[in-house]
Amino acid sequence: MKKTLNDIQVADKTVLVRVDFNVPLKDGVITDDNRIKAALPTINYLIEKGAKIVLFSHLSRIKEESDKTKKTLAPIAKKLEEISKKSVKFIAQTRGKELESAIKSLKAGEIILFENTRFEDVQNGEVVKYESKNNSELGKYWASLGDVFVNDAFGTAHRAHASNVGIASNIKESCVGFLVQKELEMLAKGIDKPEHPFIAIIGGAKVSDKIGVIDNLLEKADKIIIGGGMAYTFFKAQGHKIGKSLCEEDKVALAKQYLDKANGKIILPIDSANNSDFKDTPPTISGVDLPDDVMGLDIGPKSIKLFEDTLKNAKTVAWNGPMGVFEFNHYNKGTLAVCEAIANLKNAFTLIGGGDSAAAAIQLGFKEKFTHISTGGGASLEYMEGKVLPGVEAIQNK
């Protein structure tokens, strides 16, 4: 087990906190502040315990100097002040004298937020990737600014960056924050120690994105439901005609291998909602052999019924990826039905592994109905694949 906030003393110490404030901005305005709110339990606990708090985060990708004007954390500092009702001092630097003296003069319970860690990826117009390639000198420098490191950014836990692995490897004491702790507990409960029957639902466009998940869960789950664009690669592996549907030709043989290995564990759709073009007009419904001139954009009504029946007595459900083009009103029926079926299960542990399925569940109004919706798409996907998350691995053990 990794150290958590409850395992360390923070009073009067300078605590460096890697948060995930990678929020969507439109014309400098934050359109969704959920990630800022998610960091509050850790921040409030540190204030209460009398820590001196230094927050930092990345925001989007920085590929050239001009990106820096649009991707500053200044508006996020303002928003954090507003939400937390605490004063937040913003330092427009990732290193240097101003940052160092501001940190030195911090008093217990005070907060600094410093500039976007990915500004370190571009120096004087040159792409150097000091942050995202975990430059050892940068990790040491950031570590030198504090006494304790708290990683509370689950969204980047699957990446080894200077602002997580770099600092953790160079500081006396490190732990995970409350957000990361909860993510790890929930994912462990859903994936590593599930109560059976355990049903996994895997959707999305590509088999290649989910190979690791299918591999890992074939061992653990009682059934794996497959929907979304990736289902058509499986149809092709079964010898069906798939019209103009999405298909990864180089993964057909692999899909066939999975079907053989699964021994009936994999549940595929039995009909398809199709359109002659990729557009939001009413579908035609076919079986699993599609006419040549159409593409499948969602599962059909019989598949919905099959998936609902498969889910009926589940005690654990892990869901990653939509069943169709859920941004289209005519092709969100499968995703909606699956969402609803999971949401209405009684006494089941239900987990959404971030990304599109999390967005769909929240958008469709089911946020409160799931046991846990992960905040990190890539990180929870890699956890579902059974991979080690470097940002967590680097934290000290209890």
Helix axes 333-343, 355-363, angle to 10 degrees: 80
**CATH level 2 (architecture), domain 5-180:** 3-Layer(aba) Sandwich (3.40)
CATH of 194-384, one of 3.40.50.1260, 3.30.70.20, 1.20.1560.10, 3.40.50.300: 3.40.50.1260
Which amino acid is residue 346, in one-letter code? K
Question: For 3-27, how does the pLDDT look when each residue is reduced to its tens digit (9 = 90+)?
Answer: 999 999 999 999 999 999 999 888 8
Average pLDDT of the chain, as a whole number: 94
Under 8 Å between Cβ of 116 and 73: yes
Do the two domains 5-180 and 194-384 of this chain adopt the same fold? yes
| pLDDT at res. 41 | 97
Under 8 Å between Cβ of 210 and 238: no
The confidence band for 168, taking pLDDT boundaries of 50, 70 and 90, is: very high
Instruction: Identify the H or E element spanning 273.
Output: strand 272-275
349-352 and 372-373 as β-strands: parallel, antiparallel, unpaired?
A: parallel
| pLDDT at res. 103 | 98
Q: Is the pLDDT of residue 355 over 80?
A: no
| pLDDT at res. 375 | 77
Which residues are known to be catalytic? 35, 206, 355, 378
Among candidate residues 153, 186, 152, 150, the one with its CA nearest the CA of residue 167: 150
Paired tokens of 340: 């609803």
Q: Is the pLDDT of residue 129 over 90?
A: yes
Question: For 30-73, how does the pLDDT look when each residue is reduced to its tens digit (9 = 90+)?
Answer: 988 889 999 999 999 999 999 999 999 999 999 999 999 999 99
Phi, psi of 383 (to 5 degrees): -65, -40
Residue whose pair of structure tokens reads 């869901």 in the numeric block: 319
Would you kindly state where each structural domain of the chain is located, as residue ranges? 5-180, 194-384
18 marked as part of a ligand binding site: no
Residue 190 contacts by C-beta under 8 Å, 6 or more apart in sequence?
316, 318, 349, 351, 371, 372
Among candidate residues 208, 226, 228, the one with its CA nearest the CA of residue 327: 228
CA 124 to chain centre: 32
22 marked as part of a ligand binding site: yes
